[in-house]
C-alpha cells in the first residue's frame, strides 16, 4: 500500500445548498509532512475531522491506510484539534498518565522530556496555564504517540514566536519516518522549512497539491508567497 490518506470525490455538506468540501480527490503517501493551506472557510478543519472519523462524508470516500475512519483507525491516528478539549481541572501529569493508559503507543518519557524543555510544570492544572501553554501541552500529548498519521489543526496558532522553532523541531523529530504529518495553519512562513508537500484548499476544493521543493523551483517563489498570490484579495 502506497497511500496513507486517500480521498475520492469526497464531499461534505452541512446544509443542502452549501458544501464545505466538494469532490475532493487527494492522495498522500507515507513519510510526508504536508501543509493543509487555505483561507478561513476553505474546508481544512472539515477535512481533518473527516480523516479522524469525527464527521461522515455526504458523498465520496475517505480512507486511512485502506480503512474507513473510525474505531479501527484510532490506533494509528493522532489528532490535535483547533480548540481546547482536555479537562481543564486535570493536572498536566494526570493528562500524561491518561494518554499513557488510553493509547498503547503513547511514550510518557518523551512527553515528560518535552514538557521539561518547554518549562511546563507537570503538577500545574490545565486551567491555570496560558492559552499558549495549553496548546503546547496538547501538542506534546499528540506528538508523544507513535502514530502513522498525525492530524494537527493549527498547532502553533497561539504559541509565542520564541517557542515555535522548538515546536516545529518537535514535530520534525518526534515521529517515525514512515509516518505522515498533516498540519493546518495560517503561519505558512513558519512551517515552510519542514514541508514536503502543500495542499491548497479553496472554496471546499483542492486548488493545488504540490511538492514544496518543486513549487519553489517552478514558480520561483516560496510556498508562503504562492499562497499569498493565489488567495490575494
Q: Alpha-carbon dihedral of residues 72, 115, 134, 100, nearest 10 degrees?
A: 30
DSSP string covering 160-180, please?
Answer: -HHHHHHHHHHHHHSS-TT-E
Give the tens place of pLDDT for each residue, 120-135: 999 999 999 988 888 8
Cα 104 to its chain centre, rounded Å, is 20
Give the tens place of pLDDT for each residue, 179-232: 999 999 888 988 898 899 999 999 999 999 999 999 999 999 999 999 999 888
Instruction: Give the number of other CB atoms < 10 A from CB of residue 1.
Output: 9
pTM, to two decimals = 0.92
Give the tens place of pLDDT for each residue, 154-175: 887 767 777 777 777 777 776 6
Question: Among 126, 131, 125, 97, which Cα is nearest to 112's?
Answer: 97
CB of 23 closer than 8 Å to CB of 74 = no
Q: Which CATH superfamily is domain 3-230 in?
A: P-loop containing nucleotide triphosphate hydrolases (3.40.50.300)
In angstroms, rounded to a whole number, what is the distance separating the alpha carbons of residues 33 and 120? 26
Q: CB within 8 A of 150, min separation 6: which ones?
A: 77, 78, 79, 80, 142, 143, 171, 175, 179, 180, 181, 182, 183
Beta pairing partners, 211: 197
Instruction: Give the number of other CB atoms < 10 A from CB of residue 40.
Output: 7
Q: What was the pLDDT predicted at 107?
A: 94
Amino acid at each position: 500500500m502506497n497511500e496513507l490518506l486517500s480521498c475520492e470525490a469526497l464531499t461534505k455538506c452541512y446544509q443542502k445548498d452549501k458544501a464545505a468540501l466538494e469532490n475532493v480527490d487527494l492522495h498522500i503517501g507515507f513519510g510526508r509532512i504536508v501543509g493543509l493551506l487555505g483561507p478561513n472557510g476553505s474546508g481544512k478543519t472539515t477535512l481533518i475531522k473527516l480523516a479522524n472519523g469525527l464527521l461522515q462524508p455526504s458523498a465520496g470516500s475517505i480512507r486511512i491506510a485502506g480503512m474507513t475512519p473510525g474505531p479501527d483507525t484510532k490506533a494509528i491516528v493522532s489528532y490535535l484539534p483547533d480548540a481546547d478539549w482536555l479537562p481543564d481541572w486535570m493536572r498536566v501529569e494526570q493528562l500524561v498518565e491518561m494518554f499513557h493508559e488510553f493509547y498503547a503507543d503513547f511514550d510518557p518519557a518523551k512527553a515528560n522530556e518535552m514538557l521539561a524543555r518547554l518549562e511546563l510544570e507537570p503538577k500545574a492544572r490545565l486551567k491555570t496555564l496560558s492559552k499558549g501553554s495549553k496548546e503546547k501541552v496538547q501538542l506534546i500529548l499528540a506528538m508523544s504517540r507513535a502514530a502513522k498519521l498525525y492530524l494537527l489543526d493549527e498547532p502553533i496558532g497561539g504559541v509565542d514566536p520564541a517557542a515555535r522553532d522548538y515546536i516545529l523541531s518537535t514535530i520534525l523529530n518526534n515521529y517515525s519516518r514512515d509516518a505522515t504529518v498533516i498540519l493546518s495553519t495560517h503561519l505558512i512562513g513558519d512551517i515552510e522549512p519542514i514541508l514536503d508537500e502543500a495542499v491548497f484548499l479553496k472554496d471546499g476544493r483542492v486548488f493545488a497539491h504540490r511538492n514544496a521543493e518543486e513549487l519553489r523551483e517552478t514558480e520561483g517563489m516560496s510556498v508562503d508567497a504562492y499562497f499569498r498570490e493565489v488567495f490575494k484579495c
